[in-house]
Amino acid sequence: MINLFEVTETNKMISEENLDVRTITLGVSLLDCIDSDLEKLNEKIYHKIYHAAKDLVKTGEEISREYGIPIVNKRISVTPIALVGGAACGRPEDFVTVARTLDRAAKDVGVNFIGGYSALVSKGMTEADRNLICSIPMALSSTERVCSSVNLGSTKTGINMDGVKLMGEIIKETAEQTRDQDSLGCAKLVVFCNAPDDNPFMAGAFHGVTEADKVINVGVSGPGVVKTALESVRGENFEVLCETIKKTAFKVTRVGQLVAQEASARLKVPFGIVDLSLAPTPAIGDSVADILCEMGLEYAGAPGTTAALALLNDQVKKGGVMASSYVGGLSGAFIPVSEDQGMINAVQAGALTLEKLEAMTCVCSVGLDMIAVPGDTKASSISGIIADEMAIGMVNQKTTAVRIIPVIGKGVGETVEFGGLLGYAPIMPVNRFSCEAFIGRGGRIPAPIHSFKN
Amino acid sequence: MEKTIITVVGKDAVGIIAKVCTYLAENGINILDISQTIVQGYFNMMMIVDTGAMDKPFGDLCDEMAALGGKTGVVIKCQKEEIFDKMHRI
């Protein structure tokens, strides 16, 4: 039987070390809503989402209460809207009406974000894809809860450089259109290489076309728990370090698995995956960078950071895989800047640069995340940063992403405040040399060779 | 059987266990196991109880126990056993 020590350990993780389930995300397919009449399309989308998700928030709260574990977010992901709206939306403005419908549905069921205002253009772009992408600035500036993502490349298809060029411009335009909120729109927009179909985390969540009609995906989190566990093994060798992370990741993930199964049973929706993640928040003691420091680095970004992060990411997966029956999504340690107090400290101390962050993304989950850059950064430079990140994902057969915020009207040394879970960030300098001619070429970068690995 | 873990943490005082047990008895909740320690004047108790025969919603139990804790000057939490079982047992 469970003993007092075990009960105290679990409750201490929850009350003192910020253990929580970061999100229950309900994936909803909108493929059966497709209609050539825009009004009918919007109506069908609203009803499908409303009926699928009306009990989501209540169920999440019940589970949270019964097990005493906080479930921070309840969210929805939908089929990429470029696919759903293609028949009805002949202009970017038409897609914006769909974004408003998603926003209204999300508000009415009480979720804080809805993802899937997306286009998958890893090889080429249809007219609908292009219209959706062009509508993103307008959609994100006129809605509150809609998140958008665009998949620009994959290991199998290469990188769509026309898409990369366009997204650099779209990110700048989104920043302009939301400039009175410190360019907040860009915090809800992410570009991917190898985007997963079952990611529960925003802003990149969408419900892939290979998924069932509805599915429950859960993202767990517990950087504070890992950090506390590592405090007890200071000075020990790497074997002990790795074992400690694995055991802790196992425990954290088991909670996610329990919540996912319960939510699935109560909502009568199949269980999809648990995303094994260390997702930080700006709260003190909920930082991935602090784990790296606990391992022995003065700041995240110091020499050794990439190795430390590689080790952390791998052990989290090794521990988590056994704890869950189905693992998917992004799975790994996230390294957003604005959402992690330890990362913010590292940038402010001058320890962490954009280039080091790029290196770190080679070994961890996702990529350049929540990075604020000067508002006068050129669109082509943003496209260049995206292209670099896509190349890392393409060659290494992993998911990479860019969520970068050119803060209009602000420069290096200033700080931008997004509020809530999105946190705040010091604005980081961008390499000032041009890549305009490279980005301007157009076309595609071919898929990499899958042999002769070096 | 529906096992629930009740934890009581706070400054030690006379009658904490009595008050908790009285509430449980009044609500048809059977106690299966109790362990308790006092560390530096702090009372730390865990009870494993069976809430299978309880006739009120689980949420009410949580609220009423929390309120009882508030009156007694301790923190009382009720959680279904699975969260501990999943985390600590393979």
The pLDDT value recorded for residue A221 is 86
- Provide the pLDDT confidence category of residue A56 given band limits of 50, 70 and 90: very high
> Quick one: CA torsion of A173, A106, A201, A376, rounded to 10 degrees?
10
Instruction: Decide: residue A441, CB within 10 A, 0-12 exposed, 13-18 middle, 19+ buried.
Output: exposed
Helix (H) / strand (E) element for A115: namely strand A114-120
Element (H, E) at A442: none
pLDDT band at A454 (very low <50, low <70, confident <90, very high): low
Looking at the predicted structure, is the pLDDT value of residue A453 above 80? Answer: no
Q: pLDDT tens, A227-251? A: 999 999 999 999 999 999 999 999 9
Computed over every residue of chain A, the mean pLDDT equals 94
Per DSSP, the three-state class of B76 is strand
Q: Is A11 on the interface with B (CB under 8 A)?
A: yes
CB A83 within 8 A of CB A208: no
How high is the pLDDT of residue A450? Answer: 83
> Is B77 in contact with B44 (CB distance < 8 Å)?
no
Mean pLDDT of B17-24: 93
* Least confident interval from A113-127, A134-148, A328-342, A387-401: A328-342
For the residues of A261-324, what is the DSSP string, one character each?
HHHHHHHT--EEEEE-EE---SSTT--HHHHHHHHT-SSTTSTTHHHHHHHHHHHHHHHHHHH-
Backbone torsions φ then ψ of A25, nearest 5 degrees:
-115, 125
Q: Is residue B85 less than 8 Å (CB to CB) from chain A?
A: yes
Query: Are A182 and A425 in contact, with CB atoms under 8 Å apart?
Result: no
Residue A107 has φ and ψ, to the nearest 5°, of -65, -45
Chain B residues with CB under 8 Å of A62 CB are 59
Q: Which of A153, A93, A156 lies closest to A119 in space, CA to CA? A: A153
DSSP letter (8 states) at residue A181: G
pLDDT at A419: 82
Q: Pick the closest to residue A419 from A370, A366, A349 (CA basis).
A: A370
- What's the rounded mean pLDDT across residues A35-58? 97
Q: What is the spatial distance between Cα A426 and Cα A428, in angstroms, rounded to a whole number?
A: 6
Question: Average pLDDT, stretch A303-318?
Answer: 96
Span B22-40, pLDDT tens digits: 999 999 999 999 998 888 7
CB atoms within 10 A of CB A431: 13
Cβ burial of A90 (10 Å; 0-12, 13-18, 19+) is middle
| Residues A192, A202: Cα–Cα separation, whole Å | 12
Question: Within an 8 Å CB–CB cutoff, is residue B59 touching chain A?
Answer: yes
pTM of the complete model: 0.93
What pLDDT does residue B33 have? Answer: 93
Q: Which residue do the tokens 């002990």 mark?
A: A240
Task: Tell me how far apart the alpha carbons of residues B12 and B18 are, in angstroms, rounded to a whole number.
Answer: 13
- Evaluate if residue B12 carries a pLDDT over 90: no
Q: DSSP H helical segments within A327-378, as ranges?
A: 341-348, 354-361
Residue in chain A closest to B84 (alpha carbons) equals A7
The pLDDT assigned to A420 comes to 80
Q: Each residue of A91-108: pLDDT tens digit?
A: 999 999 999 999 999 999
* Residue A127, helix vs strand vs coil: helix
Mean pLDDT value across residues A157-176: 97
| pLDDT level of residue A1 (50, 70, 90 thresholds) | confident
Among A6-20, A117-131, A155-169, the minimum mean pLDDT is found in: A6-20
Instruction: Give contacts of A9 with chain B, Cβ < 8 Å.
Output: 88
Task: Indicate the burial class of A268 (C-beta count within 10 angstroms; 0-12, 13-18, 19 or more).
Answer: exposed
Q: What is the pLDDT of residues A399-445, one digit of tens each?
A: 999 999 999 999 998 999 988 878 899 999 999 999 999 999 999 99
Bridge partners, A325 (sequence order): none
Q: Say what the pLDDT of residue A302 is.
A: 97
The percentage of residues in chain A with a pLDDT greater than 90, rounded to a whole number, is: 90
CB-CB under 8 Å, A4 with B37: yes
pLDDT, one tens digit per residue, over B41-85 is 888 999 999 999 898 999 999 999 999 999 989 999 999 999 999
How do residues A200-221 score in pLDDT, each as one tens digit? 999 999 999 999 999 999 998 8
B34: part of which helix (H) or strand (E)?
strand B30-39
Please count the other Cβ atoms lying within 10 Å of the Cβ belonging to residue A303.
Answer: 9
Alpha carbon distance A91, A100 (integer Å): 15
- How many residues would you count in chain B? 90
Read off the pLDDT of each residue in A128-133 and give the average, rounded to a whole number. 97
For CA atoms B13, B19, B21, B24, give the dihedral sign. Answer: negative
pLDDT (0 to 100) of residue A28: 97
User: ipTM score of the complex?
Assistant: 0.91
**Do residue A65 and residue B62 have CB atoms under 8 angstroms apart?**
yes
3-state secondary structure of A226: helix
Exposed (0-12), middle (13-18) or buried (19+): which is A283, by Cβ within 10 Å?
A: middle
Whether pLDDT at A193 is above 80: yes
Provide the residue type at A72 as one letter.
V
Distance CA(A276)–CA(A199), nearest Å, equals 11
- Find chain B residues with C-beta within 8 A of A255's C-beta: 83, 86-87
Q: Quick check: B7 and A7 CB within 8 A?
A: yes
Residue A258, Cβ density class (10 Å: 0-12 exposed, 13-18 middle, ≥19 buried): buried
pLDDT > 70: percent of chain A: 100
A286-305: average pLDDT: 96
Q: Kindly state whether B41 is in contact with chain A, defined as any CB-CB distance less than 8 angstroms.
A: no
Dihedrals phi, psi of A450, to nearest 5 degrees: -105, 20
